[in-house]
Structure formats: C-alpha cells, structure tokens
Amino acid sequence: MKVYLNGHIVDGASAQISIFDHGFMYGLGVFETFRIYEGHPFLLDDHFQRLQKSLHQLGIAWSYDKKKVCATLDTLLCANGIKDAYVRWNVSAGVGPLGLHIGDYEEPTTIVYMKPIPSFMPTEKQAVLLQTRRNSPEGKQRLKSHHYMNNILGKRELGQNNGDEGIFLTKEGYIAEGIVSNVFWVKDDILYTPSLETGILDGITRQFIFALAKKENVHVVEGCFFEDALLEADEMFITNSIQEIVKITMYNGKSFSFYGGITEKLQKQYEDGKTKLWSKGELG
C-alpha cells in the first residue's frame, strides 16, 4: 500500500511518524473515511467540511483546499494502480512536548491511507444487541476521532463474524448506533433514527440519508428510543460511508422484509449519486 505522509507518497511499510505526535500520545486527531467510485470521491465536500470543523475544535490548524485534496487523491490512486478505493484521511496534532498541551497545534501530521474496495461488499447483515454500552462523547458532540476503545470493546464482544453488526445502547438504555454505523428503522412508512442527544456520531451517510428521504418525501423522526422500537419495526438498516446502506435482515430474533420498501428506494437513490455528487446539497 502506498500512502500519503505530509506531502510525500511513500510505501506504507516504511512510513514513520514521531513518537511525540500528540495524535499518538493523547488521541488528538480526527479522520474521515470515504469511498472513491470510478475516480470520483463521493461526498468529498461534506467529509472535509466536517474534518475541518472537528480539527478547529481541537485547536489543530488545517484548512480544506479542495484542489490540493483532489490532486493528492489522484496521485495516490495512480500510485496504488486503482480507480475505486477505500480512503482514510487522517490529521493528528503533530509533535508536541511531553505533557498535556493547551495551546494550538500549527504543524499537524497528515496521513492518507488508501486500499482497493473488496470484490464483495455485503448488502445484508444481521444485528445483535451489545452488552457493552455506548460511552459518552469526550466533548459536546462526538467527533470521528482517535478515541476508539468503546468501538473496539464492542467489536471484541461481537467476535469475528463480519456478517453481523453490533448495536449499542446508551447507559440510559436508548438505541445509539452500530459499532461502525448509524442505525435507521421504518415503522408505518416513517423513518426513525436516534438523535444526536444520544451521543452518536453524526455520520456523513446519516446526513445524506436525511437528504434522500426529503427528496423521496419520506418523513424522518429523530429521538431517544428504547430497544422495543427495533423489535416493532417493519424495516431496519445501517449506514456508513464504506458499506453504504446495509439491510438488517434479522435483529435479536426479529426478521424484516424489504421488498418495495423505503430502504430499497433509498438504496436506489444512493446508487444514482455516488459517481457524481460532491455534497448532499447537490440533491436540491
């Protein structure tokens, strides 16, 4: 794998960062994962506007330059010999003194990882309830940051079955999100999903689903819901930027049917936009 590291394309096996990088030492870093379809980085503007906002909250100097970002991605695609890719764009605080630092970081470390998309990506999964509870965000709102221990504990509880997704509840017992996904369900032609008040990540695909639902005249309700809402649902699906929209065929013994339903309508709209859209705003 060829990666981008602070302005250079290098072999991943030989790439190095300082042991004093505060992204490594204290978790001060955020990232975006997204897909490139036939050379097009889907929803790039939405991803990088969130990245820039998150870095600003952490006091890390970085600004989105779309032209430079696209040039970097094109160079990395060429170096890896691919046109369709999984991308992780990672920005950490950079080198700092030993000890907690309260000032701004002016020289962040930027790493861009890229790999081919697997030939098979599941469009259906089963989901189970995790005993591990979703932790609270470190700040006012959850960032897509280096703090991943809660997700790792959930993944270890789930085990090696990649055909399943684990669903977190909050400490209050509200439905939160999947280990690496946002959760949606349908009841009586209304689309439901947990609100940000539960401490979930405001996923870029989550936001895109809201825009698609509006285009399809589907009413969306965000809120705090107990697990019974999933067990009474007509449809259930999860989303993230790599797996897209994944149907949940069964959750804790409850099976779901999708033929002609809202999930399939959203999947069709998603498919139509992924080789051309830069932002959800382009849906009008």
pLDDT tens digit string along 38-66? 999 999 999 999 999 999 999 999 999 99
Whether 121 shows a pLDDT value over 90: the answer reads no
Quickly state the pLDDT bin for 163 (edges 50, 70, 90).
low
Q: What is the mean pLDDT of residues 92-98?
A: 97
pLDDT for 260 equals 81
**2-116: CATH topology:** D-amino Acid Aminotransferase; Chain A, domain 1 (3.30.470)
Q: What is the mean pLDDT of residues 169-197?
A: 98
Whether 220 shows a pLDDT value over 70: the answer reads yes
pLDDT for 120 equals 86
C-beta of residue 167 within 8 angstroms of C-beta of residue 178: yes
Q: What is the mean pLDDT of residues 214-230?
A: 97
Around Cβ 163, how many Cβ atoms within 10 Å? 9
Quickly state the pLDDT bin for 214 (edges 50, 70, 90).
very high
Q: What is the mean pLDDT of residues 77-98?
A: 97
Sketch the domain layout of the chain as residue ranges: 2-116, 124-276
pLDDT for 162 equals 64
From the options 3.20.10.10, 3.30.390.10, 3.30.43.10, 3.40.920.10, give the CATH code of 124-276. Answer: 3.20.10.10
For residues 5 and 72, give the distance between their C-alpha atoms in angstroms, rounded to a whole number. 10
Per the prediction, the chain carries an average pLDDT of: 96
Beta-sheet strands, E only, within the chain: 2-5, 8-11, 29-37, 40-41, 85-92, 109-116, 124-129, 164-169, 175-178, 182-187, 190-194, 220-223, 235-240, 244-251, 254-255
